[in-house]
């Protein structure tokens, strides 16, 4: 399968714990995005990378959230000191630079914070 893959698909954690999600984009895509989606809402932008450079981070994102894409391939999204309000589906997407509007989403990582 050459689509976007995310791991883990589900994560249940206790409040205050740290969690990390991994995303492997489509191999030839140089842009990688993280979105968050809650029930009844559209995907909410968190951050995106052009190769290994993080070009934008949402102002809504607290300092507890950090993302990396060290070699311009896979990316990780870490949430420190999780809160119940962090419970959501975390979606990764990738695209080609010249087709930035056409996002290819992964299946998502569902986070539940107890």
Partner 1 sequence: GQQVMQIPQYQHVQEGEDFTTYCNSSTTLSNIQWYKQRPGGHPVFLIQLVKSGEVKKQKRLTFQFGEAKKNSSLHITATQTTDVGTYFCANTNAGKSTFGDGTTLTVKP
Give the CA radius of gyration of the chain: 13
Segment near partner 1 (CB under 8 A); pick from 13-21, 67-75, 76-84, 97-105: 97-105
Among 45, 61, 66, 74, binds partner 1 (CB under 8 A): 45
Find the shortest distance in angstroms from Cβ 83 to partner 1: 23
Among 13, 17, 30, 50, binds partner 1 (CB under 8 A): 50
What is the Cα–Cα distance from 38 to 53, expressed in whole angstroms?
27
Q: Is 39 in the site for partner 1 (CB under 8 A)?
A: no
Whether 90 and 30 have beta carbons less than 8 Å apart is answered as: no
- The contact pattern for partner 1, residues 53-72, with x = CB under 8 A and - = no contact, is --xx----------------
Among 9, 100, 112, 114, binds partner 1 (CB under 8 A): 100
Q: Is the sign of the CA dihedral 20, 40, 97, 66 positive or negative?
A: negative
Q: Give the residues lining the site for partner 1 (CB under 8 A).
A: 31, 33, 40-45, 48, 50, 55-56, 91, 100-108
């Amino acid at each position: 399968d050459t689509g976007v893959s995310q791991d883990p698909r589900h994560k249940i954690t206790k409040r205050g714990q740290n969690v990390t999600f991994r995303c492997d984009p489509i191999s030839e895509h140089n842009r990688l995005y993280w979105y968050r989606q809650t029930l009844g809402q559209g995907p909410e932008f968190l951050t995106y990378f052009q190769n290994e450079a993080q070009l934008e981070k949402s102002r809504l994102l607290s300092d507890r959230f950090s993302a990396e894409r060290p070699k311009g391939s896979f990316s990780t999204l870490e949430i420190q000191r999780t809160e119940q309000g962090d419970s959501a589906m975390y979606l990764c997407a990738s695209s080609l630079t010249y087709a930035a509007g056409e996002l290819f989403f992964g299946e998502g990582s569902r986070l539940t914070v107890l």
